[in-house]
Structure 1
Amino acid sequence: MNLSLLLENLTSPALLFFAMGILVVQLKSDLEIPKSSSKFISLYLLFSIGFNGGRELAHSDFSVEIIWTVLFGLVSAVVIPVYTFFFLKKKLSIENSGAIAAAYGSISAVTFVAAVSFLEIQQINYSGYMVALMALMEAPAIVVGVTLISLYGKKDDDSPKISSLIGHSFTNGSVLMILGSLIIGLLASESQAQGIAPFTNDIFKGFLAIFLLDMGIISGRKLNDFIKSGWFTTLFAVVIPLINGSAVALISTLVTNNVGDRFMLAILAASASYIAVPAAMKMAVPKANPGLYLPMALAVTFPFNITFGMPVYLTIIGS
């Protein structure tokens, strides 16, 4: 792996603020970001990514490569929860296996946001349609996870229908914000986009740093309790993302040669959902333990990806 790339990533202000958040918890400080402010910042980041993705999409030509790349992303969102489910159910219950598999087959919008900043530092461009693909990859894994639980677990007549789960996934606030912003960015003229550029571009990194500070605090609080759950889930939360991200980084060359797009596909495959999937699983599979799949995704996989994962995937693509 490129050690200079890893060092550059580890010393980025955004990542250091994340580490500061974890340290805040260990020091038992009362520093915290108010929930209302945290929600606003997360919505702003999704808005900025979506809007700029729409602007990029407006300048892009529709091609066969786009179709193949989107299909590749959707297939990975189905394959990952299937193979991870059968691996997990050797050690865990059917409900927990399905919920964790859904989380790791789905995506993390926050990891995507961090990846955008990472590529910007490396001066690597990615296609605007990757933002739409991110939103599309959220629902399939949830459907696969719930379907596998229903096939291998005890039947429950009160379980929600698949159609309601899909609808819930696409009406999730984060998905609506990023898709809506994407469409607005696509429709806006160049002069209109420039009018709000200071808001969509100039302050992005500052908000990202504060947001990652908040994520560090949340991760630090969940990490201590999660470590007590045992080595298997901790090891899974590191090894499986690395396998998924590395495999996609290699295989994605079959659908596109764009380095930025291949990196984004790898990040989407390596990330794990801790927003949409927990919300869906709470409704569909209440027997699944959120004390497992939530800290796995947030307190282990997320920090692994933004520290070590991203340099690894980019090195694989560039090699």
Structure 2
Amino acid sequence: MGWDPVVLFFVFGVVAGLLRSELKLPPALYETLSILLLLAIGLHGGVELAAQASPALVGQMLLVLVMGVVLPLIAFPLLRALRFGRVDAASVAAHYGSVSAGTFAVVVAYMLAEGVFFESYMPLFVAILEIPAILVGIVLARGLSTTTNWSELGREIFLGKSIVLLLGGLLIGVLAGKEAVAPLEPLYTSMFAPVLALFLLEMGLIASRHMGSLRESGLRLAIFALVMPWVGAAVGLGFATLMGLSVGGAAMLATLGASASYIAVPAAMRLALPEANPSLSLGASLGITFPFNIIFGIPLYLQAAQWLQAGV
């Protein structure tokens, strides 16, 4: 079986960036692509949520919230053991406790291409996982400090682009229902892969720029950025088992646990922890973890979920 062309667009972007090619997408196009992807994921999830909503979903949502607290609490001591300062360790831990919407878009496309069933309300979990890690990261860095502007930070967290688009799409899908949304279905069917491919081309270019910062922070950060996805995936699989998710749903939750935020959390950390070094977080999440998950991680997490389901 050949390489997924969507993934190859990402590899192409990385190689072009590392070769210092003049290739770049217009900023407005990249912004448009990210909006389309987030809306499409939310809309599709909302349509399915309207059809599948059940009381069990409330319990699953609470478990996902707990998972969002557990992940940064695991990442923080690992970073401290690797001799990172308290504030930088808390900031990086918050990134790894949160999730990557771009990685989620890729795992959705991968599951659809492989014909693997998954719970279609998974976008709801993406939105939930964006929030707790930010709050845990701030507490780890400062304690319950009165110096943090919680109102401004709350606005940044809850009204940030990714959460608003995901929840907005979900709400529209739930309220409108499948029949009314039918004319918009190409957003999350035939148009999804081409939009994702162009988005990943730009993400490859961005990732190549952040790989350079890893030379400054050294081997310690690289070790963390390669180890934490495995830890996060194991946590995700554990919670998926508690939630009774399907194989596809378990693989997707493992992927979310393995991913690291590069949109919502950097903006929040810039407000809450301005003294933290952003090149550490973005160098690890975009320079190493994102490429690892896109190229190698997702198929491995699916295989792990299949083994777990089979009792191997």
TM bucket, shorter chain: over 0.9
Q: Which amino acid aligns with 2:88?
A: N
Identity, in percent, stands at 37
**Is 1:46–1:178's contact at 8 Å kept on the other side of the alignment?**
yes
CA shift, 1:47, in A, is: 0.7
1:162-311 correspondence to structure 2 within 5 Å: 164-311=152-299
- The verdict on how the C-alpha distance between 1:13 and 1:290 changes in structure 2, with shifts beyond 3 A counting, is same
Partner of residue 22, structure 2: 30
Q: Distance in 1 between matches of 2:70 and 2:189?
A: 35
Determine the structure 1 residue equivalent to 2:54: 62
d(CA) in 2 for partners of 1:257, 1:140 = 22
- What's the offset of the Cα at 1:251? 4.8
Map 1:65-144; keep pairs closer than 5 Å. Answer: 66-90=57-81, 91-144=83-136
Aligned-partner Cα distance in 2 for 1:61–1:50 = 15
Q: Is the 8 A contact 2:63 2:239 kept in 1?
A: no
Give, as a single letter, the amino acid of the residue that structure 1 aligns with 2:270: K
Partner amino acid, structure 2, of 1:93: G
Structure 1 Cα separation of the partners of residues 281 and 53 of structure 2: 39
How far off its partner does 1:26 sit?
2.4
Match of 2:74, SS state, is: helix
Match of 2:11 in 1: 19
TM-score by length of 2: 0.93
Q: What is the CA-CA distance between 1:199 and the residue it aligns to?
A: 3.5
Residue among 15, 31, 39 paired with 1:47: 39
Question: What is the alpha-carbon distance in structure 2 between the residues aligned to residue 209 and residue 127 of structure 1?
Answer: 23
CA–CA separation in structure 1 for the residues paired with 2:53 and 2:217: 49
Question: 1:125 deviation in Å?
Answer: 2.4
Structure 1 CA distance for aligned equivalents of residues 296 and 23 of structure 2: 27
Q: Describe the SS at the equivalent of 2:212.
A: helix
Contact 1:234 1:300 in 2 (8 A): yes
**Normalised by the size of structure 1, how large is the TM-score?**
0.91
8 A Cα contact 1:73 1:265, kept in partner: no
Counterpart Cα distance in 2 of 1:299 and 1:79: 24
Unaligned runs of 5+ in 1: 1-6
Contact persistence 2:9–2:197 (CA under 8 A): yes
* 1:224 Cα deviation from its structure 2 partner: 2.1
SS of alignment partner, residue 305 of structure 2: helix
**Residue 208 of structure 1: CA displacement?**
0.5
Cα offset, 1:128, TM superposition: 2.9
* Cα displacement (A) at 1:250: 4.4
Question: How well do the aligned residues superpose, as a CA RMSD in angstroms?
Answer: 1.7
Counterpart CA distance in 2 for 1:166 and 1:78 is 17
The separation in 2 between residues aligned to 1:277 and 1:228, in whole angstroms, is 22
Q: Can you give the 5+ residue segments of structure 2 that lack an aligned partner in the other structure? A: 308-312
How far apart in 1 are the matches of 2:40 and 2:50? 15
Shift of 1:164: 4.1
- Distance, in Å, in 1 between the alignment partners of 2:270 and 2:227 is 26
What is the alpha-carbon distance in structure 1 between the residues aligned to residue 43 and residue 239 of structure 2?
A: 29
1:121 to partner: Cα distance: 1.0
Distance, in Å, in 2 between the alignment partners of 1:192 and 1:200 is 15
Residues 283 and 61 (structure 1 numbering): CA distance in 2 closer, same or farther, change over 3 Å?
closer
The alignment covers a number of residue pairs equal to: 306
CA contact (8 A) 2:60 2:243 kept: yes
Match of 2:305 in 1: 317
